[in-house]
Amino acid sequence: MPRTCPICKGGDHQDTHSFALNLTEGVYVCKRGKCGARGRFSELSALLGEDGSITADAITARKLKKHYTIPALALGQPTQEIIDYFGMRKISKGTVEAFGIKADGNGNIVFPFERDGVLTYVKFRKPHKPAKGEPKEWQSKGACPILYGMDMCAYNQPLIITEGQIDAMSLYECGVTNVVSVPSGCENLEWIETCWDWLSRFKSIILFGDNDAPGQRMVQTIIRRLDEARCMVIEDYPCRENGTPCKDPNEILYFLGTDALLDTLHAAKPVPIRGIISLADVVPLDPTTLPRIRTMIPSLDEALGGLIEGGMTVLSGKPGDGKSTVAGLFLLNAIEQGHSVCAYSGELTKERYQEWTNLQLAGSKYIGLKYDPVKRKQVPYLSYPVQQRLLEYYKDRYFLFDNHSIMEANQSEAILQVFTATVRRYGCKLFLVDNLMTALSDSDEELRAQGRLANMLKRFANQYGVHVLLVAHPRKTRFGEALRQDDIGGNSATIRLADSAVVVERPNLRIIKNREGGLQRVIECAYCPDSRRIYELAHGDKNNFKWNKDGLELPQMRADSLPEYGITFAEVSTPF
């Protein structure tokens, strides 16, 4: 924070601490009466010739932090069995002591993860080959996942990140002290969020992942989230005498020795220039193993191949036919499959959006009735205990663009800024824009703006390996006429750039574009007005969300017991 206002310089008396800068809201103000300068951070940055884009993360920073528990354990010094175990991995007792290795009451290896001297996370490992059915390693429950070895690192040196604790210790054994390891393998990257401020202080980061497909996928994800400009990677792993490539730093140390491990580390290369590749360097893919998000509408998944990484799906349909309903279910099913999601809703308040989400997540079994004195009828209602369980289910996994934030950019650019920040910090995989297109008219200038947005969303999906759902209203058509690709509102780039397009025809779904297989078809569906769920008629409701239902009381009278909230199979007047 500046000590004096950068505009008035504190006046004749050089007054200090009169300048306020709110990074969360992106605004500034000088509290000196004779100055009173105020405005957006972008305007101030332009005036001073500085880059104001750094506030994207601050704007989207969460106001409520996830609650973690601090491990409370009785730990002892490492046993001789533990010392011998590390010795067999070519790791000395001195390195074991440097990393503070402990033993629990059962003689297991304890890796203490400390931050600022405070035990924050604990991982355990057997000091021998586990018996059949026993886990090789495990971690403390409810603890905050951080990097192993953080307190031993200096910010003025490159940071090396490995996949395993023993890999970090192997590099330390060779004299490399600025090394850490991820807490729980290559799949869980929550540590990026919990260590974000600490990681941001390093100008250079070397990623030394395992030499296998999961390890390399982890490296690529970390690169995207930590900024490729400061990341370096290990491209060449040396081979053992039998010609087999070493899998990780410890194997290099064990089979080839200290010099080989240091040579491998020093051969780390900067991440290649973005925008150009050698086609021969592309690894042939197996389309059956590509990561995809299931919509849980079987025929739709079969036709589209699920929601693919780097893809964009357009959802359209006439007003009230259920575009938002379908999109909301796709987001919840992504969460059920272990992903985080982020949504922009230009039509609903955050409270109304949450209400619709909770009804979809709860399902008819837990939706009761409550009398609305204004509507003078019974309406679907969720009890307080049920709602609390639902909030627990998607806490820290479902993010919503805040329409009330003061943004530096226009609406479409602000959405992309927030989306970028959430994928980098929280690892979101599925994004929804619902729907910027309808906020714009058909003027030429606004049509170009829609085309630019579609292009930005598609590039965003490709760059971060995510999928974007884009809701678009159609142009006016004749009564009873089915929608075609040309009927989708907005710029033609909307459909051209989309990998797939689905029209919601209360309650059926019709695929009108399918880049994956070309198949276009109608999928007959049913709709539940109380829970706002849509599902394929031939397969039943596949929306099985595993939120905690233990001990909850069922409503005395369910909403779907009333005719107006019963399942519908064809044209109805009930809005989605």
The residue-averaged pLDDT of 23-52 equals 62
Spatial distance between the Cα atoms of 504 and 318, rounded to a whole number of angstroms: 8
Q: How confident is the model at residue 283 (pLDDT cuts 50, 70, 90)?
A: confident
**Measured distance CA(462)–CA(245) in Å, rounded:** 31
Mean pLDDT for the chain? 85
Alpha-carbon dihedral 185, 191, 192, 195, rounded to 10 degrees: -140
Instruction: Please check the confidence at residue 28 and state whether its pLDDT lies above 80.
Output: no
User: At 482, is the pLDDT very low, low, confident or very high (cuts 50, 70, 90)?
Assistant: low
Q: What's the confidence (pLDDT) of residue 360?
A: 96
Instruction: Find the mean pLDDT for residues 410-424.
Output: 88
State residue 566 phi and psi, 5-degree precision. Answer: -80, 165
Mean pLDDT, residues 514-542: 90
Tens digit of each residue's pLDDT (9 = 90 or more) over 321-339: 889 999 999 999 999 999 9
CA angle (307 as vertex; 296, 546 as ends), nearest 5: 40
pLDDT of residue 486 exceeding 80: no
> Residue 58 has what pLDDT?
45
> Measured between alpha carbons, how far is residue 563 from residues 235, 505, 560, 568, 574 in Å?
63, 21, 7, 10, 11
In the predicted structure, residue 574 carries a pLDDT above the cut 60: no
Q: Reply yes or no on whether the pLDDT at 376 is more than 60.
A: yes
Cβ neighbours for 338, distance < 8 A, ≥ 6 positions apart: none
Has residue 395 got a pLDDT over 70?
A: yes
Q: How confident is the model at residue 290 (pLDDT cuts 50, 70, 90)?
A: confident
* Average pLDDT score over residue span 342-361: 92
- Confidence (pTM): 0.64
What secondary structure does DSSP assign to 131-197, as a single string? PTT--SEEE-TTPPP--BTGGG--TTS-EEEESSHHHHHHHHHTT--SEEE-SSTTT--THHHHTHH
Residue 404 tokens, joined? 């009330």
Run of H or E including 308: strand 307-308
Region of poorest pLDDT, from 54-63, 130-139, 217-226, 554-563: 54-63
Q: Using DSSP, state whether 542 is helix, strand or coil.
A: coil
Which band of pLDDT confidence, cut at 50, 70 and 90, is reported for residue 404? confident
Residues in the chain: 576
Give CA angle at 375 (372, 381), nearest 5°: 35
pLDDT at position 22 over 70 = no
Query: What's the pLDDT score for residue 61?
Result: 44
For the segment 159-196, what is each residue's pLDDT rounded down to a tens digit? 999 999 999 999 999 999 999 999 988 778 999 999 99
Position 414 scores a pLDDT of: 86
At 532 the pLDDT is 94
- Quick check: 239 pLDDT over 50? yes
pLDDT for 49 equals: 55
Range 121-146 average pLDDT:
91
Contact indicator for 153, 141 with CB cutoff of 8 Å: no
Mean pLDDT of 423-427: 93
How much of the chain, in percent, has pLDDT values that exceed 90?
Answer: 61
For the chain, list the domains and their CATH numbers. Answer: 80-270 (3.40.1360.10), 305-565 (3.40.50.300)
Is residue 445 scored above 70 in pLDDT? no
